[in-house]
A and B are shown apart, each in its own frame.
Chain A
Amino acid sequence: MTSVEAARSDTINASPADMSAAATAERQQMAEQRQIADALSVAQARAKAAQAMVLEYQPPEGVADELLQADGSIRPVWRPMIEHLATRGATALAGDFARGDQYLHDAGVYYRQYTGSDSDVRDWPLSHIPVMIAESEWAELSDGLVQRADLLERLMADLYGPGKLVEQGLLPAQLVAQNPEWLRPLVGVQPRSGHHLHVLAFEIGRSPDGSWIVLGDRTQAPSGPGFALENRMATAKVFPEMFVEGNVLRLARFFRELRASLQDLRGPNQGHAAILTPGQHTDTYFEHAYIARSLGLLLLECGDLTVTPDGPMVRTINGLEPVSVLWRRLDSRFADPLELDEASAIGMPGLVSALRAGQVDMLNALGSGVLEARALMAFLPRICRQLTGEALKLPNIATWWCGQPRELAHVRDNLGKMMIAPAMSTALPFEVDGSTALGGKFRDNARIAVGEWLEEKGAELVGQQAVTLSTTPAMIDGRLVPRPMVIRAFAVRTAHGWEVMPGGYARIGRTEDPTALAMQSGGSVADVWVVSDEDVPPDSLTPRADGPFMRQRPERLPARAADNLFWLGRYVERAEHAVRTMRAYHLRRAAVRPLDSPLLALLRADIARQGMSEAAVPPELLGLFTASLACVGHVRDRFSDDGWHALSDLSALARDMSKRPMGAGDSAARAMSELLRKLAGFSGLVNDNMFRAAGWRFMSMGRSVERGIQMAGTLANFADPNAATGGLDAAIEIGDSVMAHRRRYAVATQRETVVDLLALDPDNPRAVAFQVERLRKDQSRLPQRYDTTQMGPIGRALLTLSTDLSVAKPEDVGSDRLRDVASRLMTVSDMLSARYMS
Chain B
Amino acid sequence: MHYDITLEIGYRFEHPATAARTLLRMFPINTSRQTLLHGALICSPQASERRDEVDFFGNMLTSLMFSAPLKNVLFRFEGRVQRIPFDGGLDLSPPLAVLQREIDGVASLGPHSPHHYLGPSERVQPVGEIAAFGQDVTAAALTTLEAVLAVSRGLHALFDFDATATDVATDPAEAFAQRRGVCQDISHVMIGALRAVGIPAGYVSGFLRTQPPPGQPRLSGADAMHAWVRAWCGRELGWVEIDPTNDLRVALDHVVVAYGRDYADVSPVKGSLRSAGPHKTQHSVDMVPEVLSTAG
Interface residues of A (CB under 8 A from B): 159, 163, 166-169, 172-174, 176-178, 184-185, 187-188, 306-309, 338-339, 342, 349-350, 353, 356-357
Q: Contacting chain A: which of B3-11, B108-116, B238-246?
A: B108-116
Q: List 28 A-B contacts (CB under 8 A).
A: A163-B108, A166-B107, A166-B108, A169-B107, A172-B104, A173-B108, A173-B109, A173-B115, A174-B104, A176-B109, A176-B115, A177-B116, A178-B115, A184-B55, A185-B56, A187-B56, A306-B19, A307-B21, A308-B65, A309-B48, A338-B23, A338-B272, A342-B264, A349-B21, A350-B21, A350-B63, A350-B65, A357-B51
CB neighbours of A187 from chain B (8 A): 56, 109
CB neighbours of B56 from chain A (8 A): 184-185, 187-188
B118 within 8 A of A: yes
Q: In the complex, which residue of chain B has the Cβ closest to the Cβ of A169?
A: B107
Q: Contact check, B107 vs A338: say whether CB atoms are below 8 A apart.
A: no
Q: Contact check, A349 vs B271: say whether CB atoms are below 8 A apart.
A: yes
Q: Contact check, B65 vs A309: say whether CB atoms are below 8 A apart.
A: yes
Q: How far is the CB of A753 from chain B (nearest CB, A)?
A: 49
Within 8 A of A (CB), among B149-171: none
Among candidates B53, B65, B106, residue contacting A173 with C-beta atoms closer than 8 Å: B106
B270 within 8 A of A: yes
CA distance A167 to B57 in the complex (A): 18
Among candidates A169, A174, A338, residue contacting B21 with C-beta atoms closer than 8 Å: A338
CA distance A552 to B56 in the complex (A): 41
Q: Contact check, B63 vs A173: say whether CB atoms are below 8 A apart.
A: no
Q: In the complex, which residue of chain B has the Cβ closest to the Cβ of A343?
A: B122
CB neighbours of A353 from chain B (8 A): 21, 51, 63
B79 within 8 A of A: no
Q: In the complex, which residue of chain A has the Cβ closest to the Cβ of B274?
A: A342
Q: Contact check, A349 vs B55: say whether CB atoms are below 8 A apart.
A: no
Within 8 A of A (CB), among B40-89: 48-49, 51, 53, 55-57, 63, 65, 67
B119 within 8 A of A: yes
Q: Contact check, B23 vs A339: say whether CB atoms are below 8 A apart.
A: yes
Q: In the complex, which residue of chain A has the Cβ closest to the Cβ of B272?
A: A349
Q: In the complex, which residue of chain A has the Cβ closest to the Cβ of B200?
A: A177
Q: In the complex, which residue of chain B has the Cβ closest to the Cβ of A352?
A: B63
Q: In the complex, which residue of chain A has the Cβ closest to the Cβ of B261?
A: A184
Q: Contact check, B51 vs A338: say whether CB atoms are below 8 A apart.
A: no
Q: What 8 pairs between A and B have smallest CB-CB spacing?
A: A177-B115, A184-B56, A178-B119, A309-B49, A163-B109, A173-B115, A349-B21, A350-B21
Q: How far is the CB of A339 from chain B (nearest CB, A)?
A: 7
CA distance A185 to B59 in the complex (A): 12
Interface residues of B (CB under 8 A from A): 19, 21, 23, 48-49, 51, 53, 55-57, 63, 65, 67, 103-104, 106-110, 113, 115-116, 118-119, 122, 264, 270-272
Q: Contact check, B107 vs A173: say whether CB atoms are below 8 A apart.
A: yes
CA distance A187 to B110 in the complex (A): 10
CA distance A173 to B119 in the complex (A): 12
Q: How far is the CB of B272 from chain A (nearest CB, A)?
A: 6
CB neighbours of A309 from chain B (8 A): 48-49, 65
CB neighbours of B107 from chain A (8 A): 166-169, 173
Question: Which of A167, A168, A342: most chain B CB closer than 10 A?
Answer: A342
CA distance A306 to B53 in the complex (A): 21
CB neighbours of B23 from chain A (8 A): 338-339
CA distance A717 to B103 in the complex (A): 80
Q: In the complex, which residue of chain B has the Cβ closest to the Cβ of A185?
A: B56
CA distance A184 to B116 in the complex (A): 10
Q: How far is the CB of A404 from chain B (nearest CB, A)?
A: 10
Question: Which of A174, A308, A350: most chain B CB closer than 10 A?
Answer: A174
Among candidates A159, A167, A306, residue contacting B108 with C-beta atoms closer than 8 Å: A167
CA distance A309 to B55 in the complex (A): 19
Q: How far is the CB of B53 from chain A (nearest CB, A)?
A: 7
CB neighbours of B116 from chain A (8 A): 177, 184
Q: In the complex, which residue of chain B has the Cβ closest to the Cβ of A339?
A: B23
CB neighbours of A357 from chain B (8 A): 51
CA distance A185 to B61 in the complex (A): 11
Q: Contact check, B119 vs A177: say whether CB atoms are below 8 A apart.
A: yes
Q: How far is the CB of A366 from chain B (nearest CB, A)?
A: 14
Q: How far is the CB of B219 from chain A (nearest CB, A)?
A: 30
Known: A309-B65, A342-B270, A350-B21. A174 touches B49 (CB 8 A): no
Q: In the complex, which residue of chain B has the Cβ closest to the Cβ of A403?
A: B104
CB neighbours of A338 from chain B (8 A): 21, 23, 270-272
Q: Contact check, A178 vs B21: say whether CB atoms are below 8 A apart.
A: no
CB neighbours of B19 from chain A (8 A): 306
CA distance A356 to B271 in the complex (A): 18
Q: How far is the CB of A633 from chain B (nearest CB, A)?
A: 27
CA distance A177 to B119 in the complex (A): 8
Known: A177-B115, A342-B264. A166 touches B109 (CB 8 A): yes
Q: How far is the CB of B49 from chain A (nearest CB, A)?
A: 4
CA distance A168 to B67 in the complex (A): 46
CA distance A173 to B115 in the complex (A): 7
CA distance A309 to B49 in the complex (A): 6
CB neighbours of A159 from chain B (8 A): 109
CA distance A309 to B109 in the complex (A): 31
Q: How far is the CB of B284 from chain A (nearest CB, A)?
A: 25
Q: In the complex, which residue of chain B has the Cβ closest to the Cβ of A178?
A: B119
CA distance A174 to B116 in the complex (A): 8
Q: In the complex, which residue of chain B has the Cβ closest to the Cβ of A170?
A: B107
Q: How far is the CB of B191 from chain A (nearest CB, A)?
A: 15
CB neighbours of B119 from chain A (8 A): 174, 177-178
Given A188-B56, A349-B21, 20 more pairs with CB closer than 8 A: A168-B107, A172-B104, A173-B107, A173-B113, A173-B115, A174-B103, A174-B118, A176-B115, A177-B118, A308-B65, A308-B67, A309-B65, A338-B21, A338-B23, A338-B271, A338-B272, A339-B23, A350-B21, A350-B65, A357-B51
CB neighbours of B110 from chain A (8 A): 163
Among candidates A177, A188, A307, A350, residue contacting B113 with C-beta atoms closer than 8 Å: A177
CA distance A163 to B49 in the complex (A): 32
CB neighbours of A178 from chain B (8 A): 115, 118-119
CA distance A339 to B108 in the complex (A): 23
CA distance A811 to B113 in the complex (A): 85
CA distance A307 to B19 in the complex (A): 10
Q: In the complex, which residue of chain A has the Cβ closest to the Cβ of B63?
A: A353
Q: Contact check, B55 vs A185: say whether CB atoms are below 8 A apart.
A: yes
Among candidates A169, A177, A308, A356, residue contacting B53 with C-beta atoms closer than 8 Å: A356
Q: In the complex, which residue of chain B has the Cβ closest to the Cβ of A159?
A: B109
CA distance A185 to B264 in the complex (A): 12
CB neighbours of A349 from chain B (8 A): 21, 271-272
CB neighbours of A342 from chain B (8 A): 122, 264, 270
Q: How far is the CB of B182 from chain A (nearest CB, A)?
A: 20
CB neighbours of B106 from chain A (8 A): 173
CA distance A317 to B115 in the complex (A): 49
CA distance A185 to B270 in the complex (A): 14
CA distance A353 to B107 in the complex (A): 29
Q: In the complex, which residue of chain B has the Cβ closest to the Cβ of A175?
A: B115
Q: How far is the CB of A352 from chain B (nearest CB, A)?
A: 9
CB neighbours of A169 from chain B (8 A): 107
CA distance A176 to B48 in the complex (A): 37
CA distance A338 to B53 in the complex (A): 15
CA distance A342 to B51 in the complex (A): 20
CA distance A349 to B65 in the complex (A): 10
CA distance A528 to B55 in the complex (A): 46
CB neighbours of A356 from chain B (8 A): 53
CB neighbours of B115 from chain A (8 A): 173-174, 176-178
Q: How far is the CB of A728 from chain B (nearest CB, A)?
A: 47
Q: How far is the CB of A165 from chain B (nearest CB, A)?
A: 9
Q: How far is the CB of A833 from chain B (nearest CB, A)?
A: 15
CA distance A309 to B21 in the complex (A): 11
Q: How far is the CB of A162 from chain B (nearest CB, A)?
A: 9
CB neighbours of A185 from chain B (8 A): 55-56
Q: How far is the CB of A401 from chain B (nearest CB, A)?
A: 12
CB neighbours of A188 from chain B (8 A): 56
Q: In the complex, which residue of chain B has the Cβ closest to the Cβ of A184?
A: B56
CB neighbours of B118 from chain A (8 A): 174, 177-178
Q: In the complex, which residue of chain B has the Cβ closest to the Cβ of A424?
A: B119
